Amino acid sequence: MSAPPEDFTPYDKDAELSVLGSALLHEQAAEYAIAMLSEKDFYFDAHRFVFAAIAEMQRAGEAIDPVTLADRLRLRGKYNVVGYDLLQRLIETVPHAEHVRFYANIVLEFSKRRRIIAATLDASRKAYGGQFEAETILRGLSRAIDDVSGESEQEARSLSRVAASMRDRQSKRRAPIPTGIPDVDAALQGGYRPGTLNVVAARPGAGKTAYGVGAAIGAAEHGDPVLFVSIEMDGEDLAERLQSRGSRRFAELEALPIYFEDKQTELEQICGVIRRTVRRHNIRLAVVDYLGLIEVSSRRQMQPHEKIEQITQKLRSVARQQQIAVMLLAQLNRDLEKRDDKRPRLSDLKSSGAIEQDADIVQFLYRPELYVPTDRPGEADVIIAKQRAYKTGSVKVAYIADETRFAPYTERKVEVSEYAF
């Protein structure tokens, strides 16, 4: 059955390829395809092997892309059957993911026709043979037809559950992700939006990691799972950061849906971890600490601005594809220290052009006491230097040094001051 037929066996090779290509490159398409089809619905052996591998990876919550799929096929001993040419064709000819249901219905329709043909041919052979009574043949044929029609009803129910689940998840994904500091959330129209790249920058020692950890906790306390990718510190160091918030507080934090990754430093690997954690834990926020330590693999020597441009473009792309918010922590240029006014500006960002272009939000952390110890001790500004379609401005917050965290301005027991836009 795996070879192109010389009779009129019904199948549609292009529809099968379109389903596989969509499922390979789009997560939602994979969910739809796996809900509607099984590997037996594909006519060609190679297509069945590819679909089985994709379904296995999706159920395991693993990242699905051409590289990981090839690895899984090798593991299953099917790569030589599938071949490089087929995988390349799936990548090059994939239709829009929104059409996967149309193509899956075609695949399912031809699969049912083949099974009806097989059932009726089996009944015909038994009827010609004379070894079975007519009632026995009819019962067998009826069971076979009922199996096909019964699966259709089950597939409809399954698709309904998948569609409802996806609608609920998409509705939740449209909601902003809070930072845990109400005044900052208000200035950000509720928090970070799904599908956005958000850059938070400061000079060394100003509290970038503390702000990132605080945002992770704020989102998790709101019920939004978070991935924290730390290149600068390992998991134990981050745990100590949490411990500094107080033992009772630390015990509460252990139950929050925050996942740590401290092993990856290369851009593609980090993006793979983000995609995999979205699949496994449905995270809504990924915090990456920090830009200057991310490695970029390239066949040629890259200029610093090219490296930063590739990082910001890739992370923004992942944010949009996975419909999560990505917070990228970054350092400001040391030239800031040379001028009298130490408040950060967009021009203080390293390779500011690429960051300013790709980031949906750019925030700066400014603590006056780092420059003049008596200047507003314990206070800080979260400067919103860029916010697509919304206002920029500055929000006063507190920095609680003994707990290494940013907090609402009122926690420093000072008079609340309105932020201005």
What pLDDT, on the 0 to 100 scale, is given for residue 132? Answer: 82
pLDDT tens track for 307-340 = 899 999 999 988 988 889 999 999 998 888 888 8
Please state, in angstroms and rounded to a whole number, the distance separating the CA atoms of residues 257 and 278. Answer: 12
Q: Order of strands across the sheet with 285-289?
A: 258-261, 226-230, 285-289, 325-331, 197-202, 361-366, 379-387, 393-400, 405-408
Matching residue, tokens 């559950």:
161
C-alpha distances out from residue 145 to 100, 152, 253, Å? 26, 11, 55
What pLDDT, on the 0 to 100 scale, is given for residue 413? Answer: 46
Mean pLDDT of the 234-242 span: 70
* Total Cβ atoms within 10 A of residue 131: 10
pLDDT tens track for 102-121 = 899 999 999 989 988 888 88
**Domain spans in the chain, listed from the N-terminal domain onward:** 13-172, 182-412
* Total Cβ atoms within 10 A of residue 308: 24
* pTM over the 0.85 mark: no
Among the listed residues 370, 333, 358, the one whose alpha carbon sits nearest the alpha carbon of residue 348: 333
What pLDDT, on the 0 to 100 scale, is given for residue 397? Answer: 96
What pLDDT, on the 0 to 100 scale, is given for residue 171? Answer: 59
List, in sequence order, every residue forming a beta bridge with 198; answer none if it has no partner: 327, 361
What is 13-172's CATH superfamily? DNAb Helicase; Chain A (1.10.860.10)
Matching residue, tokens 């928090």:
191
pLDDT at 166 over 60: no
Pairing of strands 379-387, 361-366: antiparallel
pLDDT tens track for 208-224 = 999 999 999 999 999 99
pLDDT tens track for 15-48 = 999 999 988 878 778 888 888 888 999 999 999 9
Topology match between the domains 13-172 and 182-412? no
Q: Exposed, middle or buried, 249 (CB in 10 Å: 0-12/13-18/19+)?
A: middle
Mean pLDDT of the 392-410 span: 92
pLDDT at 286 over 50: yes
- Indicate the CATH number of 182-412 among 3.60.15.10, 3.40.50.300, 1.10.10.10, 3.60.20.10: 3.40.50.300
C-alpha distances out from residue 181 to 42, 46, 53, Å? 52, 53, 44
